[in-house]
Amino acid sequence: MIRKFAALTAIVTVCTTANAQVQPVERFKKGDRIAFTGNSITDGGHYHSYIWLYYMTRFPNERIDVFNSGIGGDVAEQIYKRMDDDIFVHNPNIITLTFGMNDVGYYDFLKPKPEADSIAKERIRQSYESYQKIEQKLKAHAGIKKILIVSSPYDETVKKPNNYFPGKAKAMLAVAAFQQASAEKNRWGFIDFNRPMTAINEQQQQRDSTFTLCGGDRIHPGNDGHMIMAYVFLKSQGLANKPVADISINASGNKVNKAENCTITNVVGSGKKLSFNYLAKSLPYPLDTIPRGWMETKRQSDALAYIPFMQEFNKEQLQVAALQPAKQYKLNIDGKTVGTFSGEQLASGINMAAITTTPQYKQALALMYLNEERWEIERRFRMYYWLQFSFFRDKGLLFADNEAALDTLDANMKTNIFLGGNRDTYLKARFPEVRKTWKEEMALLINKIYTLNKPVNHVIEVVEE
């Protein structure tokens, strides 16, 4: 397990710092407004939500705002066309941009290889030309930081019969090459989701040929894949190995040897009991154990089998020395027992962030659920904007939201299967009063999160059984 995680860490490091000319991806700071721009993997996905949850819990006094600017099915040209109406409208000071999955196409890869290769080459050329227009648009906004992200992979190696397009994975790497070249030239941030996820897929497929992080269609990562994307992103920002808290106490003499990212006071030891006050500056990261999203079967917590997230990003370490190694001790927080450990275990150190019954974890869990409620509302907006940019624009009805728009939608539902899935949301979202209320609900949730995310003092006791 350690060797596997070490190999992945090396891959992530190479893919996020591949060239000295790429601008380092700094961690987000208080007041930042980040627009995550992309296609359906961004549109319907969770990676940006998981990243935001990390910031909500790790930096509770540094509010940031994150915006989903993904549209399902987009290629670079479509992203370019909606930049003013769907990206810059959020007044971001940071923009992330990922594309490539749709740019290189799909079914053309099933044609004879010379023809398929020729079509793929032309699609890559078109994507590059469209990206050059995006690049110029981004360069015109000098005050905005840019982060280019290589798309999560198309899994060509998983042993599943559906959506097998030989050569698509290689074509996507050609898009990745000009994305990286642009980041180097412009000294913009650069992150690669593709290669670390491909490495995990290939590694796991040696044991299970049907394993994939890329969903049932080889394309859309599940919640586990999105958590790995969040991990790669956070690691590229230099946030690995920064603890939630790191506490070391010597029970002999009640001495605090270490208190990183927290304050320890009132250390009292009397015979079989040690107690102290604990006020952290951060909360543990809560991992969802329920599949979220349309037809989703994977959980965010499933990602822990493939990445060292708990070791690198979620350590709330408690170490107590000078206890009897063979004896058992109850760990009580605010008068409730959350676990029993040997003196030897406590001397080595335990990760309280892995204990889901602690009051600080429960506090963080409430934030996770509030963030999911926010995500659900934001999804309604993305469905509405998908209709606007992917359907109504070409009909000359962009943001018309009138009866003619609804009639046009209904008239095309038989020939466009995606319209039906968005119709009910559009019936509501076409009214500005509804959209205004949804925005107010999201703002209420975000404000509540940044009110409830402040760590509080806890009384910790280590009691011999």
Q: Look at residue 304 in the predicted model and tell me its pLDDT.
A: 98
d(CA 289, CA 223): 10
Low-confidence ranges of the chain (pLDDT < 50): 17-20
DSSP assignment string, 242-309? --SEEEEEETTTTEEEEEETEEEEEEEEETTEEEEEEEESS-PPPPP-S--STT----GGGGGGTS-H
Q: How many CB atoms lie within 10 A of CB 93?
A: 16
Q: Look at residue 52 in the predicted model and tell me its pLDDT.
A: 99
Q: Look at residue 271 in the predicted model and tell me its pLDDT.
A: 77
Tokens of 10: 């090396």
Q: How many CB atoms lie within 10 A of CB 55?
A: 23
d(CA 433, CA 439): 10
Kindly report, residue by residue over 350-408, the tens digit of the pLDDT: 999 999 999 999 999 999 999 999 999 999 999 999 999 999 999 999 999 999 999 99
Cβ burial, residue 112 (10 Å; 0-12/13-18/19+) = exposed
Q: Look at residue 270 in the predicted model and tell me its pLDDT.
A: 83
Q: How many CA atoms lie within 13 A of 289 on its CB side?
A: 3
Do the Cβ atoms of 97 and 149 come closer than 8 Å? yes
Q: Look at residue 20 in the predicted model and tell me its pLDDT.
A: 47
Q: Look at residue 34 in the predicted model and tell me its pLDDT.
A: 98
* Short-list 258, 251, 291, 262, CA closest to 353: 262
Q: What are the C-alpha distances in Å from 60 to residues 30, 318, 332? A: 10, 21, 25
Q: What are the C-alpha distances in Å from 335 to residues 24, 221, 329, 431? A: 45, 42, 14, 51
Q: Look at residue 21 in the predicted model and tell me its pLDDT.
A: 56
| Helix 168-186 with 194-205: angle, nearest 10 deg | 150
- Residues contacting 266, CB < 8 A, separation 6+: 275, 276, 277
Q: Look at residue 133 in the predicted model and tell me its pLDDT.
A: 98
Amino acid code (one letter) for 209: S
- This model's pTM is above 0.85: yes
Q: Look at residue 10 in the predicted model and tell me its pLDDT.
A: 56
Kindly report, residue by residue over 57-89, the tens digit of the pLDDT: 999 999 999 999 999 999 999 999 999 999 999
Q: What are the C-alpha distances in Å from 131 to residues 81, 88, 137, 169, 192? A: 11, 17, 10, 19, 17
